[in-house]
Amino acid sequence: MAESQNNGEGALPDENEPLMEEVSPDVAPVVEEFMEQAAQQNEAAVEAVPDVRNKPGSYISFDHVSKSFGGFVVLEDVSFCVNPGETLCILGRSGVGKSVSLQMIMGFLKPDSGVIRVAGENICGYTEKELQEVRRKVTMVFQNGALFDSITVGENVAFPMRERGDMEEDQILKVVKGLLEMVGVAGMDHLLPSDLSTGMKRSVAIARALAAQPEAVLYDEPTTMVDPLMAHLLGNLIERLKQQLHLTSIVVTHDMRLAKKLADRVVFLSGGKAVFFGTMEEMERSDDPTVQEFLTLDELVMPA
């Protein structure tokens, strides 16, 4: 199956185009209500994050976090934060702890030291049951999509809604159709994940994440191993979701074009440490030699 897919006929959707423009009229009312619920929930989540020293608190934060595997130090005394409704990009070469950071936010791994807060709460001592509640607020889009191979695309997207048990089946089916249209894989609900290209699997994984109505989404290398058109579509989709649903997002990537497009702030990991944390413009002006080497090599490999 071809990797690239245009979202319907004509021009590609603009990053400012409302997501509902992609949705068929027959399901639009149900999908619009579903998306409005998600947006209102995320606005409420912003208000619910406790203030820190009389300043608005971060939705996700690392405070002097360290993590090792055996004798190999992956993260050492790393600190950064993500404000509600903000997109943070985690940059760095392979093996510097980018994906490990996401797994710790989800509670799949625990730090050796330091504090990780999600929705303003320290999750480091949480039980598995408590972490399941965190995962209802924060969901992750894995590199491989992490879809259930034995069920269809539509059943994958419906899974979070059926598990929650608060929607009628006809509503679920309408939301599934609408979400698949939003992410650019309309009409593929009957296919199995094995029938899809890498980029399409990522799109379906985003649709399944949205079905859970999360407050935050973590993306692990969303544009790796996809062609430039699909990378552009995925980048636009992530930006539209942030703007229109007020989602808090963390994007792990080595794709500087994607980072420049999405990031409110970036953290650059190298040698186990966060050697830079700030805006993309500040990063480009950084005098840190590791950061400048990364930027220079990126320009050589991916000319504008």
**pLDDT tens-digit series, residues 244-297:** 888 999 999 988 889 999 999 999 999 889 999 999 999 999 999 999 888 887
- Does 267 map to a domain? yes
- Does 2 map to a domain? no
- Torsion sign (Cα): 238, 42, 80, 115: negative
268-280 exposure pattern, b = at least 16 Cβ within 10 A, e = fewer? bbbebbbbbbeeb
Give the pLDDT band of residue 11 (cuts 50, 70, 90). Answer: very low
Q: What is the pLDDT of residue 103?
A: 94
The Cα-based distances of 160 to 2, 50, 63, 97, 273 in angstroms read 28, 28, 31, 29, 36
pLDDT at 9 over 60: no
For residue range 179-211, what is the model confidence (pLDDT) as tens digits?
Answer: 999 988 999 999 999 999 888 899 999 999 999
* C-alpha to C-alpha distance for 248 and 259, rounded to whole angstroms: 15
* C-alpha to C-alpha distance for 132 and 263, rounded to whole angstroms: 28
* C-alpha to C-alpha distance for 279 and 295, rounded to whole angstroms: 14
Q: What is the pLDDT of residue 13?
A: 57
CATH number of the domain bearing residue 66: 3.40.50.300
- Does 37 map to a domain? yes
* C-alpha to C-alpha distance for 170 and 112, rounded to whole angstroms: 46
- Does 167 map to a domain? no
- Does 204 map to a domain? no
Residue scoring higher pLDDT (266 or 233): 266
Q: What is the pLDDT of residue 44?
A: 82
Q: Which residue range(s) make up the domain with 262?
A: 21-147+215-301
* C-alpha to C-alpha distance for 252 and 262, rounded to whole angstroms: 11
| Angle (deg, nearest 10), helices 198-211 and 169-182 | 140
CA 120 to chain centre: 18
* C-alpha to C-alpha distance for 205 and 303, rounded to whole angstroms: 30
Mean pLDDT of the chain: 87
Please give the radius of gyration of the chain, using alpha carbons only, rounded to the nearest integer: 19
Collapsing DSSP to helix, strand or coil, 83 comes out as coil
Q: For 4-17, what is the mean pLDDT?
A: 51
Q: How many CB atoms lie within 10 A of CB 301?
A: 9
Domain count along the chain: 1
- Does 229 map to a domain? yes
- Torsion sign (Cα): 243, 175, 134, 272: negative
Written as six digits, the tokens of 118 are 């999600």
- Does 292 map to a domain? yes
Q: How far apart are the first and last CA of the chain?
A: 29
pLDDT at 224 over 70: yes
Q: For 226-241, what is the mean pLDDT?
A: 86
- Does 122 map to a domain? yes
For residue range 27-59, what is the model confidence (pLDDT) as tens digits?
Answer: 999 999 999 988 888 888 777 777 665 556 789
CB 190 within 8 A of CB 152: yes
pLDDT at 2 over 70: no
- Which of 80, 133, 135, 125 shows the shortest CA–CA distance to 267? 80
